[in-house]
Structure 1
Amino acid sequence: MHSIILFILSSGCFKAAAKKKHSNISIGSSLSSTGNSSWRSPSGLYAYGFYQQRNGSSYYVGVFLAGIPEKTVVWTANRDNPPVSSDATLMFNFEGRIVLRSGEQGQDSIIADDSQFASSASILDSGSFVLHNSDGKVIWQTFDHPTDTFLPTQRLSAGTELFSGISKTDPSTGLFWLNMQHDTHLVQYPKNTPDTAPYSYWASGTNGKESPTEGMMYLMKIDSDGIFRLHSYNLRRQNSTWSEVWSSTYEKCDPIGLCGFNSFCVLNDQTPNCICLPGFVPISKGNWTSGCERNYTAESCGNKAIRELENTNWDDVSYNVLSEITKEKCKQACLEDCNCEAALYKDEECKMQRLPLRFGKRNLRDSDITFVKVDDATSSSPQAPFSVEGKKKELWKDIVIICLFVVVVILISAVTFGIVIYRYRVGSYSRIPGNGSARYCEDIAPEQTDFVVAIERYSASADDRETVCCILVFQEI
C-alpha cells in the first residue's frame, strides 16, 4: 500500500495537469463572497476564491474542486483566522499581493505573503494557485504551503508538513500532523509532540510505484480523525462520489491523541469513543478533545481507593519506577505515595504517574493495567476492574435473555393456536354426512382432495403441509 503514496505524489492523473495550462489573473482583479466568488482553472476543474462553511453564513478563501457536484476543498488560506462575513472581498492589489478585506473587521489580511512583486496570478489545472513575476517565473504557489491535502504532481520536499483540520466543517489546525522527514519517510504524529519514534503512530515505506488510472481524480488528505487517506473520484461517471482507496490505518483508535487528557479511546462497532478515567467526568460534553476532570475535590492524601483499568496504554511520564514488584504491591505503593495519582503496571514493573494522563487507548492485545487513585467516598467498588468490554458483555446477556423470552412466547402461542385449529377441524370432519362415496382413514377424516386444499391455507410451507396431511388426511389423488 505504501507504493500508492509514491504514485500519487509523483504522477499526474489527468492530461490537463501535466500540460500546466493556466489563465492569467491581472493586477486589480477582485472577488466578492456573494458575487463573482472565484477564479477558475482553464478546464474548470479547480477554482480559487471564497467557499462557504456547511450550514453557515461565513466564508473562507481557498482552492477547491469546482468542476464536480461534490465541492471538495483542498487548500485553505490563513486557516486559523476566523472566517469572514458575506461582505468580504479578495483583491489582487497594485502592490502585487493577494489581500482579503473584511467589512466587519475593517482590516486587510495578506493571503500570499512574498517579498517579490507579483505581476500576474493563475489557478492551474493541477490545483495550484500561483503568483508570477514580470518574467513569468513562479514566485509563490499554494503547492509549497499545503494545509491538509496533497494533489497529484505536488512535490514533497523534506520538512513539508500537513496538519489535519479540527472537523469536516472547521479547517482550523487540528490535532494531528504529517511530516516528510529527511530520511524520505512520511510519519504521523499528534500535534505538539517531538517528531521522535515514541510519538509516531504511522510511517510510510518508500518502495514501488504504480500507474495512475485514466479518468480518475486522486487526492491524499490527513483527516480530522488523524488518519491519512487516499481518495479517488471517477470523472467519467455521473453522480460519482469520493471513494477511499487506502488509509494509513484501519484501527480508528490508532491516532495518538484522539482523546483529551484523562480519557482513553475505545472502539465500539468500529466507532472510536472517548471514556473518562474512573472518578472523572467530561470537561465539555460532546467535545472529546477537551478531556476529563475529577468529579470530586482532592483535599488530602487520605481516604483514597484504587480503581483498575485493564488493557490500556498511556504516554509514560513516570516520576518513579519500581521493578520486580507484584500487582498488589504496586497498587499499595501508589496508595501510600501522596504524589502518585496513577500507576502503570506491566511485567512486574510499576510506573508511578502524576495527572494528567494523556494519549490513552484500549488495546485488548496488551496486558497493561492502569491503577487510578480516586476518592474513597466516590468509589462504590474500588477494587473492581473498570472494563468497557464487561459492560458490553452484560448488554449482550440482556439482549439474549430478551430474545429467548420472545421466542418462547411465540412458540407457546403457535402451539396453542395449532391445537385450537386442530380441534376445530376434527370436529368439523366428524360431522360430515357419509354418502357412500367418501372413504375414511382410521375414522379421522374423509380421503378427499378438497380437504387438502383447505388445509394448505393454514400451512407455512410445503413441508408443513405434508406433515399436517400425514396427521389429518391420507390423501389419494
Structure 2
Amino acid sequence: MSILTILFLLVISTAAEAQRKPSNITLGSSLTPNSTWPSSSGVYVFGFFPQHDSSYAVGIFLHDKTVVWTANRDSDPTVPDDVVSLLLSPEGRLILRRRQGQDEDVIRLSTTIASASMLDNGNFVLYDSNSRIIWQSFDHPTNTLLPGQRLPPGKEIFSSVSETDYGRGIFRLKMQNDGNLVQYPINTPDTSPNSYYSSITDRAGSNINISLNLDSDGRLYLLNGSLLLKNISDGGFPTQGSINLMRLDVGGIFRIYSLSLGNLTMTRRWSSTDDECVPKGFCGVNAYCTMTTSDDAPVCQCLPGFVSVQSGNNTAPCSRTFSVHVCPNIDDRLKSEMIRVESTEWDETSYEIKIMSEEECRKSCLDDCNCEVANYVGNECRKQRLPLRYGRRNSRSSNVAFVRITTSTVPDLGGDTDHKIIMKKERRIDAIIIGIVLMSIGVLALSISVIFVLQKRKVYMKISNEDGANFVEGISLQVFTFEQLSEATNGFKEEVGRGASGTVYKGVVQNGQKMVAVKRLEKDFAQGEIEFQTELKTIGKMYHRNLVRLLGYCFDGDNKLLVFEYMSNGSLADILFNQEKRLSWEERIDIARDISRGILYLHQECETQIIHCDIKPQNILMDDNWRAKISDFGVAKLLKQDQTNTYTGIRGTKGYVAPEWYKQQAITVKADVYSFGVMLLEIICCRKCVDSGRSEDEAILEEWVYDCYATGKIGSLVRDEMVEERKVERMVKIGIWCVQYDPSLRPTMKKVLLMLEGTVEIPIPPNPSSFLSSI
C-alpha cells in the first residue's frame, strides 16, 4: 500500500471519527441571535451571524466570526426581522420561528430530524432516529472548503456578494464531470470563452471520479478516486494552533488562508492568480478592469463616451452617452471618430479579421458602418460589434482598441475663413451683451427677492405662532411649525421611506384623526425659500386621483418638510419585485394605466406643466384601494407658460433617466415618457430594469425585451403566467416605443394612454438602439 493511500485513509478515518462524536443538540434546542451551538472545542459554531445592513443570517463560522457556510444562500440568506429564534423543533424540523408563529425551514428535508451536532472539523450534521447522517454541511459547500471537505464531480461553489453580504455572488468554481476544475462567471455556459481558470485535467473515458480536496496543511489537490491527479497548491502551511481553509473570494479568485487561533489573525497563503483583473465578469459590458496605483485594487473603467448605468456597481454595464451611429448616415449632423484605448484585452467576437497596419485598421473600422470597435492585435485588425465583455487592461499587452464615438456637429456651410472669423467675433460680442443684461436682471431680481423674503418671513412667523390645527384640504396648503410635525411623528420615529431628497416618516395630525406622511428634506436641498414656497403652492393646487396629495409644509430655517396623504399599501416596487406579492396581469396593466393618467395630468392638464423627472416604481404608491398614485416631486421641474423644454443638471434615478440628460440636450416631457417606458417593461416582466444577477443577454431589460420581441419569444417575458401572447405583445410594443433613444420618436403620454386603453393601433416599433439602449 502506497504512502499516499495510507495518508488518504488516515484523513478519511479522522473525519469519520469526528463525525462519530455524540450529538450535542437535541430536539427542542433553540438559539437566539445572542447564542450559538458550538463544537466541543469551541472553534466552530452554528448560529446567527451579522449580515449586511444590520441584519442576520444563519450558518457556520469560526470563533473569530469568519463565515464558512451560509444557509438558504441560493435565495436570500438574510433572516427576516420578525424572527425570534432558530429551533430544532420537537417535530424534527430545523426552523426559524417568527414572532407571529410562522415557521420557515432552514434546511428542507423529507426525513424527520432526531438530533444534530456541530463537529470539531466544521461539519454541521443532522441525524435520524437511528443516528444515521441524513444531511451534513460538508456536502453543500457555499464559498469555502475546510480540511477534510471535498468538492465532488458536478458540484460548484460560489463567491459571496460582498464581504458583508453572504448571498450568492457573481463567480463560481466548478469541479466538472470531465475532470477539469474550472472558474466561470455566474449565469454563463460551461464553455472555454467564459472560463478564466482551468486545472487542465480533463480525462476522456467513463472511469472519472475526480474531486477537489483540502488537507489540514493547506494542500489543495485533485483525486481521481483514491489516486492523486494533481496538486493545485503544495500546502505545508502551519497546522499547530492554526486552521487552513480555501475560500472563493468576492473578487472571483480562490485562495488558501491560515487562521491563527491564538491572535485570530487571517493570513493569505496562496492564490490561484495574483492578477485581480483576471476573473471574467468582474466588470460589466463595455467596461474594463484596471488596477489602481494608490491601493493596488481593481476598478472598472467604462469605454470612452460611455457611463455606468449603476454607479458603485462593478458588474453594471456601461452605456452610450452619444447618439447611435446610423448606417447609411442620413443625418449630416452626426460625425464619427475612433478613440484609441491602449493595452486592453476583450472577449473575442470578431465578425472580420484581416492583416493590415494599425492606421489602416482604424480607418477600415471608421469606413465600415457595421464596425463599432476594432481590436488591433499583433498585425491583425479584428472588427467587432458592441457590447464588449470581459475587458481588462494588461500593461504588457500591445493590443489597441479603436472605439467608434458619434458626436453632434454643426455642418460646414462653406465660405471663406475671414468670414467665419468675423462671425465668431460677432457671436462672442453678442454673448457678452447677453451676459451683461442677464447680470443686471439678476441683481434687480435679487434686490426684489430680498425685500419680498423679509416681508414673507414676517407673515410666516405669524402663521407659525398660531395653533395651525385646522386642516383645510382643497383650498390651500397648511403651514406647520417644526414642533408640530415633530410631535405628529413622535420625534420622527417611524421611518417609512427614504429618497434622494429626504426621509419620509409616518405621522398623525388633527388630534390623531388623520394619518399623514411627513417628508423631511435634506439640509442641502438646493431651493431657496421663495422658490420652495412658490413651487409647493403650485403643486398644492393640483388634484388628481392618481397623484399623491400634498397637504402642507414647514419652512423653518434649515428645516424643510412636506406633508402628504398617507399611502397604506407601500410602493409599487414593494409588490412588483416580490414574488410572494405578485399581482395578476390585469392588475398590473390597471396600475400602468393609473400611472399614465397621472403623468398625462402633469404634462397637459394641470395649470402649470410639470416634468416629474423621477418616474420609477419606488415613487408609485398604492392607496387603500390599490390605486396607483405618483409621488415625490422632489426633483420635479415646473415649466412656465409657453415653455416646452428646459436645460438643467441631471435629475432622477439611473436606469430610468432618458439619454438626453447625459447629452446635455433640452429636457421635455418626453423624458418622463422614457422613464414610464422602462417602468412599463418592469411591470410586464416583474423584474428590475438592470439585474446584474442575470445572464448577459438578460441583464439589461430593454435589450432583452426587444430581443424577445424581434425573435418571437414574447412568452418568455412572462414565463409561466397564463396570459394571451397578443396582450403581452401589445404592451411590449408600447414600452419599446416609449424607450426610443430619439425623444421625437416617443409618443406623448396622451398617445400612450390611448394605446394602453386599446383605442388606437400600435405600429411596429424600431430597435431603440443598435445594441445596448442608453440609459
With structure 1 as the length reference, what TM-score do the two structures score? 0.69
One-letter identity of the residue aligned with 1:91: L
- Give the corresponding residue for 2:315: 289
Superposition deviation, residue 11 in structure 1: 8.2
- Give the corresponding residue for 2:89: 93
One-letter identity of the residue aligned with 1:369: V
Question: In structure 2, the residue corresponding to 1:169 is in which secondary structure?
Answer: coil
Question: In structure 1, the residue corresponding to 2:150 is in which secondary structure?
Answer: coil
Check conservation: 2:287, 2:391, Cα contact below 8 A. Answer: yes
Check conservation: 1:17, 1:124, Cα contact below 8 A. Answer: no
Superposition deviation, residue 40 in structure 1: 1.2
Check conservation: 1:57, 1:85, Cα contact below 8 A. Answer: no
Question: In structure 1, the residue corresponding to 2:315 is in which secondary structure?
Answer: helix
- Give the corresponding residue for 1:47: 45
Aligned counterpart for 2:343 among listed residues 296, 302, 311: 311
Superposition deviation, residue 265 in structure 1: 0.8
Superposition RMSD in Å = 2.9
One-letter identity of the residue aligned with 2:113: A
Aligned counterpart for 2:107 among listed residues 81, 103, 112: 112
Question: In structure 1, the residue corresponding to 2:392 is in which secondary structure?
Answer: strand
Question: In structure 1, the residue corresponding to 2:366 is in which secondary structure?
Answer: helix
Q: Which has the higher contact order (CA 8 A, sep 6+)?
A: 1
One-letter identity of the residue aligned with 2:395: L
- Give the corresponding residue for 1:366: 397
Q: % of aligned pairs identical?
A: 47
More helix by share: 2
Within a 5 Å distance, the mapping from 1:304-343 to structure 2 comes to: 304-318=336-350, 320-343=351-374
Aligned counterpart for 2:177 among listed residues 172, 175, 182: 182
User: Structure 1 residue 160 and structure 2 residue 164: aligned?
Assistant: no
Aligned counterpart for 2:272 among listed residues 229, 245, 248: 248
CA distance in 2, matches of 1:187, 1:362: 22
One-letter identity of the residue aligned with 2:175: M
CA distance in 2, matches of 1:299, 1:186: 43
Change (3 A) 1:112 1:83: same
Aligned counterpart for 1:261 among listed residues 285, 293, 316: 285
- Give the corresponding residue for 1:274: 300
Question: In structure 1, the residue corresponding to 2:131 is in which secondary structure?
Answer: coil
- Give the corresponding residue for 1:226: 252
Q: In the TM superposition, what whole-angstrom CA distance separates every residue of 1:419-466 from its partner, at most 9, and x where no partner exists?
A: xxxxxxxxxxxxxxxxxxxxxxxxxxxxxxxxxxxxxxxxxxxxxxxx
The structure whose Rg is larger is 1
Change (3 A) 1:294 1:11: farther
Check conservation: 1:261, 1:357, Cα contact below 8 A. Answer: yes
Question: In structure 2, the residue corresponding to 1:140 is in which secondary structure?
Answer: strand
Aligned counterpart for 2:126 among listed residues 123, 126, 131: 131
CA distance in 1, matches of 2:314, 2:271: 23
Change (3 A) 1:221 1:22: farther
Unaligned runs of 5+ in 2: 1-6, 200-220, 222-228, 330-334, 410-775
One-letter identity of the residue aligned with 1:190: P
Check conservation: 2:18, 2:119, Cα contact below 8 A. Answer: no
Question: In structure 2, the residue corresponding to 1:333 is in which secondary structure?
Answer: helix
- Give the corresponding residue for 1:382: none
One-letter identity of the residue aligned with 2:72: N
Check conservation: 1:147, 1:162, Cα contact below 8 A. Answer: yes
Q: In the TM superposition, what whole-angstrom CA distance separates every residue of 1:107-132 from its partner, at most 9, and x where no partner exists?
A: 54322122222211111111111111
User: Structure 1 residue 207 and structure 2 residue 256: aligned?
Assistant: no
Aligned counterpart for 1:77 among listed residues 71, 76, 88: 71
CA distance in 2, matches of 1:256, 1:127: 31
- Give the corresponding residue for 2:55: 58
Q: In the TM superposition, what whole-angstrom CA distance separates every residue of 1:300-324 from its partner, at most 9, and x where no partner exists?
A: 3441111111211111223x21322
Q: In the TM superposition, what whole-angstrom CA distance separates every residue of 1:153-184 from its partner, at most 9, and x where no partner exists?
A: 11221112110011100111111111112344
Superposition deviation, residue 91 in structure 1: 2.0
CA distance in 2, matches of 1:168, 1:153: 25
Question: In structure 2, the residue corresponding to 1:74 is in which secondary structure?
Answer: strand
Check conservation: 1:10, 1:154, Cα contact below 8 A. Answer: no
Change (3 A) 1:293 1:10: farther
User: Structure 1 residue 217 and structure 2 residue 243: aligned?
Assistant: yes
Superposition deviation, residue 366 in structure 1: 2.2
Check conservation: 1:225, 1:255, Cα contact below 8 A. Answer: yes
Check conservation: 2:353, 2:380, Cα contact below 8 A. Answer: yes
Check conservation: 2:49, 2:65, Cα contact below 8 A. Answer: no
Unaligned runs of 5+ in 1: 1-7, 379-477
Change (3 A) 1:272 1:40: same
Superposition deviation, residue 230 in structure 1: 0.5
Superposition deviation, residue 30 in structure 1: 2.1
- Give the corresponding residue for 1:28: 28
